[in-house]
Structure 1
Amino acid sequence: MSHRMKLVRETPLEQNEVEPFGPRDLARRILRTTRQISLATLDRNKGFPYSAVTNLSVEPDGAIVFYGAAISHHSRNIMADPRVSVTLSQSEGRDVLRDRRMTLIGTAHRLDGIAFERAKNRYRRKFFRSSKYLDLADSCMFKLNVEAIHLNGGPARYSDSLSAEDLSVDLRGAEALLEQEETLIAHFERFPNKIKMLTSDINGVRGRWHIATIDPEGMDLASETEFHRLSFSQRVTTPATLLGLLS
Structure 2
Amino acid sequence: MKSYPFIPDREIPMDPQEGEPFNARAVACRLLRHSRNVALATIDRINGFPYSTVTNLSIEPDGSPVFYMSGLSHHGKNILADNRISMTLAEFNGSDVLRGSRLTLVGCASCLRDHERELSLARYRRKFFRATRYLELNDTLLVRMTVSDLFLNGGPAQYSDDLHLDSIRVSLRGAEMLTRHEEDLISFLEQNPDRLAPFLAKAGGVRRRWRLATIDPEGMDFASEDQNIRIAFNQRITTPEGLLRYLDGIRA
Normalised by the length of structure 2, the TM-score is 0.92
Higher alpha-carbon deviation: 51-60 or 111-120:
111-120
Give runs of ≥4 in structure 1 deviating > 6 Å. Answer: none
- 1:57 is matched with 58
CA drift at 1:218: 0.5
Within 5 Å, give how 1:226-245 maps onto structure 2. Answer: 226-245=227-246
The whole-number CA distance in structure 2 between the counterparts of 1:202 and 1:68 is 33
The whole-number CA distance in structure 2 between the counterparts of 1:230 and 1:208 is 15
- 2:72 is matched with 71
Distance 1:9 1:83, change over 3 A: farther
Matched, 1:90 2:113: no
CA drift at 1:197: 2.6
Q: Which runs of 5+ in 1 are unaligned?
A: none
CA drift at 1:49: 1.0
The whole-number CA distance in structure 2 between the counterparts of 1:57 and 1:25 is 18
Normalised by the length of structure 1, the TM-score is 0.93
Secondary structure at the residue paired with 1:245?
Answer: helix
Give me the identity figure in percent. Answer: 49
Matched, 1:137 2:153: no
Q: Which runs of 5+ in 2 are unaligned?
A: none
Distance 1:173 1:44, change over 3 A: same
Give the paired residue count: 245
CA drift at 1:7: 5.9
Secondary structure at the residue paired with 1:168?
Answer: coil
Q: Are 1:62 and 1:169, in contact at CA under 8 Å, matched by a contact in 2?
A: yes
CA drift at 1:246: 0.6
Within 5 Å, give how 1:196-207 maps onto structure 2. Answer: 196-203=197-204, 207=208
Secondary structure at the residue paired with 1:136?
Answer: coil
Within 5 Å, give how 1:212-227 maps onto structure 2. Answer: 212-227=213-228
Superposed CA deviations along residues 10-38 of structure 1, whole A, max 9, x for unmatched, are 64422121111111111111111111000
Q: CA RMSD in A?
A: 1.8
The whole-number CA distance in structure 1 between the counterparts of 2:22 and 2:109 is 30
Q: Are 2:203 and 2:231, in contact at CA under 8 Å, matched by a contact in 1?
A: no
